[in-house]
Structure 1
Amino acid sequence: MNDTFNIRVRDTLQKMTPYSPGKPIWELQNELGLSNIIKLASNENPLGPSPKALEAVASSLSDIHRYPDASTTRLRQALATGLEMIPEQFIISNGGDELITLVAETFLEPGDEVIVCSPSFSEYEFGAHLMGATIVPVALDESFRFDIDAIVGAVTARTRLICLCSPNNPTGTYLSKDVLHHLLDVLPKHVVILLDAAYSQFATASDYTNGLEFVRAGYPVIVLQTFSKIYGLAGLRVGYGVASETIIQQMIKVKEPFNVNALAQVAATAALHDAEHVRLTLEANTKGKLQLYQAFQEMGLSFVESMGNFVLVEIGAEAKHIYEALMTRGIIVRFGGIWNLPCHLRISVGYREENSTFIQAMADILTHDN
């Protein structure tokens, strides 16, 4: 490209950085020449995809010369039936990430304010910056719990959107039903809440809510869900939003016509009916978290009890060194520096053997360093 060109990009791009995903398995294999890599970095389902989804994809391959259903009719109907709602309350997206962008494109103008809790998923900030909105960060408390008073105190006349992730990534903490209900009741009527419930199926707390009851009650809530986690379809990129019919009608206006591919649609629809895969995933996640908790306790490491399929553990000043040392052994975890948590690692729950290998490696590294 000729450097003498004076091409101007949007000013808001100066505030944006590309999303930094966990290192892919193939990249580490190439770097280290290792064949066996354990990836515990991206909160993926260690059991793999739903078998029913695989069958549906295999039987649909001969039709991929056709455009997908732009209205995602069958998937929306299946969701509506399962959740006792109507199809018009659903919008299907190319993963949860696209839904966040669609929400931003629907509701935000330059100069609007978006409240984002910190630390949390970075894509909320991406969507806000994309539309020229202003990020208003609100820190979680010292225990990584949501500070509702601080959230309410940050609301102004320019606030349009509040992004809440529950269970929260990367901390695993959550908003209780009563606290969310209180927040919805005290917020001004011009504020919309995006409740990211991507990890809701893993939550076991009796007072947890996935937010759907508040959608049904008519509150201005958009619930984000994904097929990437519990159903193991991260590679197909399919998520969805649930909200009032009025909100969904507006969001459809900014959605691309064929945003969710045909294989993703049939896989997701089939996965909804795979109760056995869900049961096995939850069972493995419960056992895996306990396995990690016990190991961290024995190592003398502090961690956050998680309602997700990951655990945030405090390592100390050596966290980045340990992250890199694990990588040399073919174990990929997530370094907390990306959330301004330089003393922490986030560990996705793997299957038992993966967890054991990680635990042994951690113990070896800590012992060697000490």
Structure 2
Amino acid sequence: MSCDFIAQANLGVQGLHPYQPGKPIEELQRELGVEHVVKLASNENPLGPSPKVVAACSAAAQDICRYPDASGFELKKALSAYLSVDAELFTLGNGSNDVLDLIARTFLQPGTSAVYSQHGFIVYPIAVKACGARAIVTPAKQWGHDLTAMAAAVEVDTKVIFIANPNNPTGTSFARAEFTDFMAQVPAHVVVVLDEAYVEFNDGEDQLDGVTLLPQYDNLIVTRTFSKAWGLAALRVGYAVAGQQITDLLNRVRAPFNVNSMALVAAEAVLADADYLAQSRAVNHDGMQQLTTGLEKLGVTFIPSAGNFIAAEFRGDVMAIYQKLLEQGVIVRPVGVYEMPQHLRISVGLESENTLLLQALAKVLGEQV
């Protein structure tokens, strides 16, 4: 006897679609038989891991028969020193996505709502709807967050606001003054989640560093990740920083051992590698200049980005352009799911990888003419 298990799921989950990650290199090699592949689809760090990380993981491999430290004591201690924040105010997660989900599960339920922006990170609607909460989506302003509109969108049942700075996939960002003006308009009981997954790449004027604002706002949560600038995407480790009450609540729902031992020691090691972070920023800065100059020469418009990626806009059949790039061994990311059907998101790679992308793109666009 069959059963409609979709109908048995909660209403929020019924309306969801699985998260679609960037195409893996191995998948493209299997599908098209392409040997040399450049992946510029998932905003990964093209440098590879820090040597200090490799050494730390090698040493930790002797104890993989043991459970990790569930409290993450040493990593929290290292984060505390790095950010000048009390170690008790950190919540560790299996990537910052895990932390975003923890926040949603802690504060949202049927009968409540959450605010986020059009073109915002796709995990926000997934986390909100999975809890059975109502999504309030505010229109974007020049592809970025309209903070005034987001504050005005708060309703009686609103519990959480999700904000990304810089935002993925648009790369847009806002300054510290804009954010403090926004916070002055938000009711004190509404939790504001400032997602700073790409903060290390943002070097604009009046740059916002959410961690420095935590003493001013009891309702602020700052989330960050080691997957981007720190080069630990495969190990999945992120964290939230917030006041004591919020941190206590998040740790009530956090799964035991949600960060593995390799991730813990790797994150601690890379925090101590200032040269690696400086190199990551430098490679991204130079690569972004290379890509923007190359796209301009090809007549391709794009959204100025404060991250390690750029959203480029194309005329015509974008998915055909994407497919032809795949055939040349270049993986980028379609972002139609973000209501950006004419854009492809391109991660910043090494100089040689950026060159291959631009050469492949020139060939594809030349064939269209």
Settle same-fold status: TM greater than 0.5.
Answer: yes
Deviations 1:200-247 (A, max 9, x none): 000010212131122122341111100000111000000000111111
The separation in 2 between residues aligned to 1:316 and 1:199, in whole angstroms, is 28
* 1:186 Cα offset (Å): 1.2
Count of matched residue positions in the alignment of Structure 1 and Structure 2? 368
* 1:317 Cα offset (Å): 2.6
AA aligned to 1:169 is N
1:55-134 equivalence runs, <5 A: 55-134=55-134
1:52 corresponds in structure 2 to 52
| 1:253 match: secondary structure | helix
1:205 corresponds in structure 2 to 204
The separation in 2 between residues aligned to 1:317 and 1:157, in whole angstroms, is 43
The separation in 2 between residues aligned to 1:188 and 1:4, in whole angstroms, is 45
The separation in 2 between residues aligned to 1:15 and 1:5, in whole angstroms, is 15
The separation in 1 between residues aligned to 2:248 and 2:185, in whole angstroms, is 26
AA aligned to 2:215 is R
The separation in 1 between residues aligned to 2:356 and 2:139, in whole angstroms, is 34
1:222-301 equivalence runs, <5 A: 222-301=221-300
2:341 corresponds in structure 1 to 342
The separation in 2 between residues aligned to 1:56 and 1:161, in whole angstroms, is 37
Deviations 1:163-195 (A, max 9, x none): 001000011111210111011111112211111
TM-score by length of 1: 0.97
Deviations 1:77-115 (A, max 9, x none): 110111111001101100011001100111112121111
* 1:4 Cα offset (Å): 5.2
* 1:128 Cα offset (Å): 0.8
Deviations 1:139-184 (A, max 9, x none): 211x213212211221111111110010000111112101110111
* 1:280 Cα offset (Å): 1.0
1:40 aligns with 2:36: no
AA aligned to 1:175 is F
| 1:236 match: secondary structure | coil
| 1:283 match: secondary structure | helix
2:20 corresponds in structure 1 to 20
Larger CA deviation: 117-126 vs 144-153: 144-153
Give every structure 1 segment of 4 or more consecutive aligned residues whose post-TM-superposition deviation is greater than 4 Å.
4-7
AA aligned to 2:244 is E
* 1:14 Cα offset (Å): 1.5
| 1:361 match: secondary structure | helix
The separation in 2 between residues aligned to 1:145 and 1:60, in whole angstroms, is 42
CA contact (8 A) 1:230 1:278 kept: yes
* 1:291 Cα offset (Å): 0.4
The separation in 1 between residues aligned to 2:201 and 2:302, in whole angstroms, is 18
The share of aligned pairs that are identical, in percent, is 39
* 1:17 Cα offset (Å): 1.1
| 1:306 match: secondary structure | coil
* 1:12 Cα offset (Å): 1.8
AA aligned to 1:153 is A
AA aligned to 2:89 is Q
| 1:44 match: secondary structure | coil
Deviations 1:11-34 (A, max 9, x none): 222121110000111000101112
Deviations 1:22-79 (A, max 9, x none): 0111000101112211000000000011221111000110111111000000000110
The separation in 2 between residues aligned to 1:252 and 1:54, in whole angstroms, is 29
AA aligned to 2:9 is V
| 1:285 match: secondary structure | helix
| 2:115 match: secondary structure | strand
RMSD (Å) for aligned C-alpha atoms = 1.2
| 2:253 match: secondary structure | coil
1:316 corresponds in structure 2 to 315
| 1:194 match: secondary structure | strand
The separation in 1 between residues aligned to 2:42 and 2:137, in whole angstroms, is 24
1:29 corresponds in structure 2 to 29
Deviations 1:315-357 (A, max 9, x none): 1232221111101111100112121111111100000000000
The separation in 2 between residues aligned to 1:301 and 1:8, in whole angstroms, is 47
Q: What stretches of structure 1 of length at least 5 have no aligned partner?
A: none
Deviations 1:108-144 (A, max 9, x none): 1212111111102111111111211001111211x21
Larger CA deviation: 195-204 vs 272-281: 272-281
* 1:5 Cα offset (Å): 7.1
Deviations 1:248-279 (A, max 9, x none): 01110000111101111000000101111111
| 2:221 match: secondary structure | strand
1:307 corresponds in structure 2 to 306
AA aligned to 2:179 is L
| 2:69 match: secondary structure | coil
| 1:235 match: secondary structure | coil
CA contact (8 A) 1:170 1:312 kept: yes
The separation in 2 between residues aligned to 1:171 and 1:4, in whole angstroms, is 41
